[in-house]
Structure 1
Amino acid sequence: MVYRIHFTVDDLARTRVSPCSLPLMELGAAVRTLQQPSHAVRFGAWRRRALADLRPEARMVLDLIRTRRWAPDFLTCAESGSPEEVLERVRATPRARIRGDLEHVAAGWPLPPWAKGLADDRDLFQRLCDSLEHMYSVLLSPHWAQITSNATAEVGMRTRQALTGGMEHLLSSANPHCVRWNAPVLEVSMPSGLDGDLLLEGRGLLLVPSYFGLRWSAVCTASAPQPVLTYPAHTPWDARSPITRPPHAEHHATGSPALSALLGHTRAAVLINIAGHPGCSTKELALLAGVTPPTASEHATTLRQAGLVQTARHRNTALHTLTALGTALLNSP
């Protein structure tokens, strides 16, 4: 089943990348990832810590946010703001919306028996909100600052991607696993089997990076001023460590013994990440290579002095790209 998002020229002009993750959508992705055994290398330790720290009241949220199923919109909508502000707004959800969202879920999946009276029992609803806040405190709160920092790097890379390849390239490459650009329609395969059409009507689309949504994209049509589509962040946050280390960084650094022997383990990873992300800033390079910004700057300087990298400055930002010599080095057998 495919969900189709229809673009006009105005929609393409107004489509943008969010500079931050959205708390409820990211929490929904984290709750689903918690329930899956996949990506054990990246999330295994995080799952074990989370499951050890969760209290019994977490079951309420786990009952309503399930893998490959719809969840009530009021729990996973594209609300902007700090996590604390957004969670407080959930507590004020009108009864009519609670009832409507639950009816929508029940049309496709059975609700847990306790949830059927949720709209009319405010004490029960407040306990659900307590459960939601508890889930956030365990799953996301310890890591939210870094997720927010990574999102800043993400928007920089995606913006340059749009500038060099156009909006159609940005849309087609956001999540190749389940998103396909078939001009003028963006086709999104949904794990819940959602089928339908969304006319943007000049509003454009907000693309939001997700650090726990590693495979599937989520759509929120009711967000203002424009609908939201999540996609797997290209600068992934590593739940095992306070320092971001994308899965490919270690592979690159150890997968080419000759390059690592010549340049050193970390400097080789820096060079390869510049090759894969031309025009990346020093901060973005640090996130990609899993090092601190001063370390990334030091290695980029050494590579530049060797003629392998060139650096241009845009205002106060250094942007790194490969030289012909750097390309030849990486392409040599």
Structure 2
Amino acid sequence: MSQLRFETADVAGVRFGVSPVWETVSSLWVLRDPIRNALHLPWIDRARTFVARPEVAVAVGPLRELARPRAWLPDFLTPPPPGPDVEFEESLEQVRATPPAVVVRDLLATTPRRPLGPFGQALRTDPKAMLPALVTALRVWHDVAIAPDWPRMRALLEADIAHRGSQLAEGGAGLALAGLHPTVRWAGDRVVSDDPWRLDFHLGGRGIALNPGVFTPQRVLWNLLEDSPPGGTYPVRAVATLWEAAPAPPGDPLARVIGSGRAGLLQLLDSAATTSDLARRTGMSAGNVSQHLAALHAAGLVSRVRQGRHVLYRGTDAATVLLRASRGE
């Protein structure tokens, strides 16, 4: 069990963002353990073809050595996102700018679990000379394995952050923190996390940067060192929908009345969602989704509310009645 102790300033400093570099690194865990990550098999099948290319295998080798299953990651490799709209190049620059002393410290912090491999040892010995190879590995793997699917991944991650924003508005930071994962709870002035690490960490007024993760294992992973920005990564909501096919309601009586696109959207709006998330899940363009939502909103079947820079849509009570009637309930 771990504890994160909060001051008033820490509660005010809770923030959420997207981390492209985290997805790039953590995806290698999934690639090496497909049995435990069967829901990502569509992505794994494609990624295996990429890593089988000799030029990719060589370039990505340094990253694969550090991102080993059941081994600790050096924290500098996955810096907390500095804001909600971070691009991959910004994250990459954070890694590139890591001071050599921090590289060595973070590498040594991983050795109690497993010794460093050849590249890790060389990186520890000469961080300045070896760090560029690691940055190159990050860029190559992101370009071939993550970038093609990044728009739909980002839509899912942003939908999760919109949900956390709704929790902050409804119940404050305590509700948002307690909702990160079933193994986490808010205990008045601290987060208690049921994990094997036994951390007792005081945030010290620095707040904490949190990001949802597509490839994150089923617990919250903390980035907590005294002289680094505190951070944490938690499993994104609805990750099982990421690779699903577009919903198709053939023969649905409601689809014959209002159209299959609008009927499909209503089926998904039993919980709040953004336009981009709905586009990802249905396979429609964002423009088509927006047009359908506008029509459904005008008909009183969809409500909408702004949360920060996101607009969340949800089916109304009238939509629930209509859906039940179409199913003969």
Determine if the TM-score, normalized by the shorter chain, exceeds 0.5: yes
Matching of residues 273-292 of structure 1 within 5 Å: 273-277=268-272, 280-292=273-285
| Deviation for aligned residue 1:63 | 1.6
Give the structure 1 partner of residue 32 of structure 2: 35
Give the structure 1 partner of residue 22 of structure 2: 25
The one-letter code sitting in structure 2 at the alignment partner of 1:309 is: V
Farther-moved stretch of structure 1 (323-332 vs 222-231): 222-231
Matching of residues 223-262 of structure 1 within 5 Å: 226-234=229-237, 246=242
The whole-number CA distance in structure 2 between the counterparts of 1:169 and 1:260 is 37
CA contact (8 A) 1:246 1:289 kept: no
| Deviation for aligned residue 1:29 | 1.4
Give the structure 2 partner of residue 14 of structure 1: 13
Task: Look up the SS of the partner of 1:78 in the other structure.
Answer: coil
CA contact (8 A) 1:35 1:67 kept: yes
TM-score (norm 1): 0.76
| Deviation for aligned residue 1:276 | 1.0
Give ranges in structure 1 of 5+ residues lacking alignment: 239-244
CA deviations over 1:24-58 (Å, ceiling 9, x no partner): 32222122222220124442333234323432242
The one-letter code sitting in structure 1 at the alignment partner of 2:270 is: A
**Is it true that 1:87 corresponds to 2:89 in the alignment?**
no
Task: Look up the SS of the partner of 1:207 in the other structure.
Answer: strand
Rate the CA distance shift 1:310–1:290 in 2: closer, same or farther, 3 A: same
Rate the CA distance shift 1:10–1:130 in 2: closer, same or farther, 3 A: closer
Give the structure 2 partner of residue 164 of structure 1: 170
Give the structure 2 partner of residue 201 of structure 1: 204
Give the structure 1 partner of residue 185 of structure 2: 180
Give the structure 1 partner of residue 218 of structure 2: 215
Give the structure 1 partner of residue 60 of structure 2: 58
Give the structure 2 partner of residue 44 of structure 1: 44
**Is it true that 1:74 corresponds to 2:76 in the alignment?**
yes
The one-letter code sitting in structure 2 at the alignment partner of 1:11 is: D
The whole-number CA distance in structure 2 between the counterparts of 1:314 and 1:99 is 41
TM-score (norm 2): 0.77
Farther-moved stretch of structure 1 (140-149 vs 155-164): 140-149
The whole-number CA distance in structure 1 between the counterparts of 2:226 and 2:285 is 36
CA deviations over 1:253-307 (Å, ceiling 9, x no partner): 6699666666554333311332211xx4544543454422222233324434554
The one-letter code sitting in structure 2 at the alignment partner of 1:100 is: R
Give the structure 2 partner of residue 130 of structure 1: 136
**Is it true that 1:100 corresponds to 2:105 in the alignment?**
yes
Rate the CA distance shift 1:77–1:282 in 2: closer, same or farther, 3 A: closer
CA contact (8 A) 1:27 1:76 kept: no
The one-letter code sitting in structure 1 at the alignment partner of 2:177 is: L
Identity of aligned residues (%): 27
Give ranges in structure 2 of 5+ residues lacking alignment: none
The whole-number CA distance in structure 1 between the counterparts of 2:130 and 2:278 is 47
| Deviation for aligned residue 1:210 | 2.0
The whole-number CA distance in structure 2 between the counterparts of 1:74 and 1:314 is 31
Task: Look up the SS of the partner of 1:275 in the other structure.
Answer: coil
Rate the CA distance shift 1:297–1:304 in 2: closer, same or farther, 3 A: same
Matching of residues 259-270 of structure 1 within 5 Å: 265-270=260-265
CA contact (8 A) 2:166 2:307 kept: no
CA contact (8 A) 1:6 1:198 kept: yes
Give the structure 1 partner of residue 286 of structure 2: 293
The one-letter code sitting in structure 1 at the alignment partner of 2:92 is: L
CA contact (8 A) 1:273 1:289 kept: no
How large is the RMSD of aligned CA atoms in angstroms?
3.7
| Deviation for aligned residue 1:79 | 5.4
The whole-number CA distance in structure 2 between the counterparts of 1:109 and 1:282 is 44
Report how many residues are paired: 317
| Deviation for aligned residue 1:85 | 4.4
CA contact (8 A) 2:80 2:232 kept: no
